[in-house]
Structure 1
Amino acid sequence: MSAAPSGEPADLTALAPRRGYLLALLVLIGALILVFVTWRVARERELRSAESEFVAQTAVMTDLLRQRMIYYELVARGGVSLFGSVARPTPQQWQAYVDGMNLPRRFPAMIGLGFGGYVRSSRLPELQTEWREAGYGLLEVRPRGIRRDYGPILYLEPRTPANAAAIGYDMYSEPTRAAAMLAALESGQARLSGPVRLIQDDANESLGLLLYLPVYRGGDRPQSVDARRTSMQGWVYVPFRMKRFVEASMGTAFSEERFRVYDVTDGYPRLLYASVNGRGEAETDRNAPAFKLSTTLDAYGRNWRIDFESPAQARAAPRLASLQNMLALGLFASLLLYAVALTLARTEDRARKIAVRMTEDYRRSETRFRSAMRYSAIGKALLDSEGRIVEANPALVAIVGNSEESLLGTRFDALFETDDAELAGHAHGRTDTDGVHRATRRLHREDGLVRQVQLTYAPVPGNVGQDISGLVQVEDVTERLRAEARVHALNRTLEARVALRTRELSQANQELEAFAYSVSHDLRAPLRAIEGFSRILVEKHAPQLDEAGRGYLGRVRKAAGRMGELIDALLHMSRLTRSELRLERVDLAKLAGEIVEELRAGDPQRNVEVTIAPALSVVGDAALLRNLLSNLLGNAWKFTRGNARARIEFGVHANAQGLPEYYVRDNGAGFAQEYVGKLFRPFQRLHTDEDFPGHGIGLASVKRIVERHGGAIRAEGVEGKGATFTFTLPGE
């Protein structure tokens, strides 16, 4: 490629593709900014909406508390009205009034409705005398002591043991109650006490509150404080538990909300109520509330602060999750747009480079072709439409053995034997469908040598004014053909050697089988001797042996019997790999049904639920496949013995490649998955012989049968929950 005429055009040419990459980067940055701004605006809008909903919900909850307190005031005012109609109602009248209101059902947090008298110290003996003469019993005011004013509980209904025990308690003696009672007396309005421990409750109960309404003689409402003290008759009061009060006010609609109620009247907060889902646990990023709000409530002279907390952000604003998906989709679209812009920039850069190189490549193409012709190790020649040589390279001159000048203008087919019909056909213009023709010819050199050459004809258009129709490549393959002949001879020799080794291997297998039978026969002889002599000892000399000796003889006989069983199992497993496969179509479902019937007949006292999928057709050796299913189903039957609701399933499902996989599943003893590698090894057992007897050969035989059929087997299990054995077999 030629250099640029000056430095400035070269710099502009280099900067042109960079502008495309810069534009792609700007597209990415702009798209990301747009996505983030859109997501941020939508997120803030969603959070504001959720916060507004949270604020509205807190207002509803605060109003519910206020309304419930108003209901309590109305109940207390009913008691005041009773005193307005009767100078002093009797306990029976008070009980009838309270029973008619059905307080436990309507207001479960309310302990009762009571009346506490306002008694001067000088009038206390007179009140006790009136109480006793009216037949109400002894009025014992407690705690004892001389005080200026008393506020004993005279009436408290409904009549429960705890309420009856509270009669006579001087509420005026306790500062928190006395403050609320005095505030009600002086204001003439209902007043709420601070948090106290109700006398009806034990230490485990929640805090309680009392709502007091003053009762004046004759139902009047004095205007001055002194007149109120003079006319004061007592207080109708409502004791209630704070926890039940809040729960009854909220109902089930707000049972999951998190909030706390504090009494802040005295300048420092006192906890009245904390919801179950409140901040009783440490806050983390996951369960930290999304919003917080504090409201105040004027509760009959007491100031309550209610601290609300919303759920975590995921629950407070559930639609944020969809915004996260929108953000991910926007990021993906931005990256996709960037990829498109980057691809266009690269395409433009590549096209620019190709355009710059094209002119130089065109000028150099003929030079490369001439160089390839001249320096190629394969003979090449350009032919005209009549098959004459227009140009030949040095390699062709060396193969033919003539000079380049003598070859020019010579018919190419004159260099070879004239009885080759294939070349003659090509010389007349016949070619293959792809335009390339290949042939092997015998070449007669000037020195008399005969060589085999490989010819490849291909159409090649020449320049304007040139009469060139094709290119022929000539490769001397004489030595290669001779080498191929030698390879064929070696292959025949190798086949003979393979046949010889096969016969030797078959003979070795036969000798190994004979050796196995001989060894098993030789092993059985001493086993029979051990078993026979130990049996004689047991039958004839057992009285001379102590209990330990007889136990040792029993172990010897048991070990000899087990060794005989192991020899039989080994011989059986060796036959599996030596027997010839007799392939036929086999219905595994039918085989499995027969095996299960045999298991039921051999163990009739067991009730096992067995499920077998229908029509499980495979191609294989029927005897070996029966052995395979007998081992798998027998194991499932054995290892579910300890399960009262044993279940075995034999079926098929498709694997990831869509091929059928057969499985045997049970809910028996199972095994630890970390020991799965030992299952298919001979004599490797994961359970003791006392729990589940066996030889450890069954699963090893199963693995060999499956692999002989070209399949594979795997096992999955959980201790105490069962096992699943999955295997593959050819369908055709």
Structure 2
Amino acid sequence: MARSLPFVSGSLNLTVFSQKPQKSYQPTYAWATFPVLIVLLLCLVGVWFTLEGHREHFMQARFYLEAQHLTGKISDKITAYTEILRGAGGLFAASGKVTRDGWHAYVEKLDLDQNYKGIQGVGFALYIPADKLKAHIAAMRREGFADYVVKPEGQRESYSSIIFLEPFSGRNLRAFGYDMYSESVRRKALDIARDTGAIAISGKVKLLQETKVDVQAGILAYHPVYANGAVLQTIEQRRAALVGWTYSPYRMNDLMESALEGELNGLQLEIFDGETTQAEALLFDSEAKSMKTAGELISRPLSLISKLELEGRVWTLRYTELPGFAAQATYASLWRETVGLVVIGLLLTGFFWSQVNTRKQAELIAKQLTASLRESEERYHALFDFAQVSILFIDPDLGVIVEANQAACQYYGYRNEQLRGMPMEVINTLPIGDLKEKFHSATAENQSHVYCRNRLANGEVREVEVHLGPIQLGGRLLLYSIVHDITERKRAEDALQQLNETLELRVQAELAENRKKDHLIIQQSRFAAMGEMIGNIAHQWRQPLNSIGLILANIEDAYDYHELTSEYLSMQVAEGGQLIQKMSSTIDDFRNFFRPHKEAEPFSAVKAIKEAVSLVSASFNNNHIDIELELGEDAFILGFSNEFSQVLLNLFANAKDAILKNHVDEGKVWVRLTQTGQNVIVVVADNGGGIAEAIMERIFEPYFSTKEIGTGIGLYMSKMIIETSMHGTLSVRNQGSGAEFAIRCQLTGEGQCCPQNC
């Protein structure tokens, strides 16, 4: 039974008038309302399809954004965790030898449980050649591990053994002494890390740490540790210098729980190892414990498959919509328009109905309205009592609470009888004068929107958003007050404001970090160029050194046969001196090449090209590669001549490598200098087979290389020098039987041409 709302003075009762039952009246012209109903139905169908179209578009956009956001979080988390292994590798590089206590202290400072949730531990696996296995086992037993063996036992070409693993307790004790080389998936990742010198992530494995309870898929990450001071330019050198690997095991469910931080938001995420979605490759399923799939819960769920590359390993991520996804969306629907259309249609229908029926029909409607009023009263009380939001009825004149629903009682912490008759200033922190002003404004303007603070029964003060408006109940003017707690939203807005205030500082820090990376790339480029130059010096000096050796042999023979005269000795010494002078001038040429220019200045394009060619001529001749120059008329370029020569040397080196790689019998490089208007164009072409179209757009990216031991910074720095420092362009295309690089720079204002060899 519905109850009346008691008031401070008087009470409100909704009175329902009843009538005696009347004989039902059947309208004789009901067909006249059919056209109105048909039009209404057609309009409703149109609005419904519009609503559905908007909703589906919104849901798809939100679905893809959520998936991209989660993929980024996973990538960032894995990258951050693998950086631990690089730091652990630095521990070996800094100290040469790491003790068990030193390893424990290092890992303990990382505080894995607090800062790296989801990681099982950080360890070191020692590389053991077969002939050193017995000595290794004996050494470990002398450390106090009397039962130590390398597991599994048996004859193999080489071994590895986990000798450090922290925390050294619980599940991790099972991995102590395990040979990860004995299992194919782990061995493959170990070999990749060893040969590349970079971090490698394994495929799907079952970790040794697993028990029979809560078995999860596992992966491992490895970083190689090499002997200090070793040369690591080739795969063979890296294999010879290998000491072992720092590594970390991960249980995928634990790792993803840490990475996602509960942000799946109505999505199912499945992660597969590799580029397949077969069940045997499944690494993680956020709904693994559910008895039903997303497809069984939703007839046509949204789905997205994306690829994630981590340290050279590819994962396939499949996102699928769950029933809760749509419920979490904040979507401004068109239901208001739909309801309005229904009301208008019903009014029109009622109008036509009343026009085509008799007074008896009006009596029937009155009877039905009476019943509807009674039902509305009951529905009103039910909605008021069981609404999920806090609702108060307030007397604006007295400033007291007249009635409160159950949600309001629970929110404020008072019983209903305590709230009834309570002055508003008890729960509202505004002064009484401001409260009455708000009440008056809400009454005069029919509605008011207020942000204020409310005090709960326990003394806690909360931020609230209040909707006030007048309502007539029982012939009495009251205010309804709908209260929403916005404390958490206000805190989030304050945090966002503070975040925006620090945005400039974070941008400056990011710019500084980018400048640091650019400086590192420049250093690496210079070191790579120096390494190339050292090779050229070796080729330049080989012939003079051979000649000096012949001179010394001739002097020795002349002495043995008593033919050594002072004139002959002077002639040989003079010839040797000329050769030494030539070698000295070569050193001067290389030193001048690496001398930096502080300011841009005009330089001769022909001279820069010839100097670069002279530096590589011996190396090219030794590899039977011809260089053909088509220089034409010289021109001045404003810029840095040494950096320009460095670009040419990079292009020459790439051309030579391509010719040698493809075993071209008659290798050839063309260098052409032309002028077009105000531009100087230098073209370097070869017959080394060209560049694959699939990678043509990526060759200027930093660290991208197709060479086995390439740094991937030569062409990147060349493009930076030409386009950033000299405001020109560097482009590439395939032409004929090889690649063609074109450097385009502007002529200086001093004149278009200069004497050749100036």
Check whether TM > 0.5. Answer: no
Instruction: Normalising by structure 1, report the TM-score.
Output: 0.41
Higher relative contact order (CA 8 A, sep 6+): 2
* Structure whose CA Rg is larger: 1
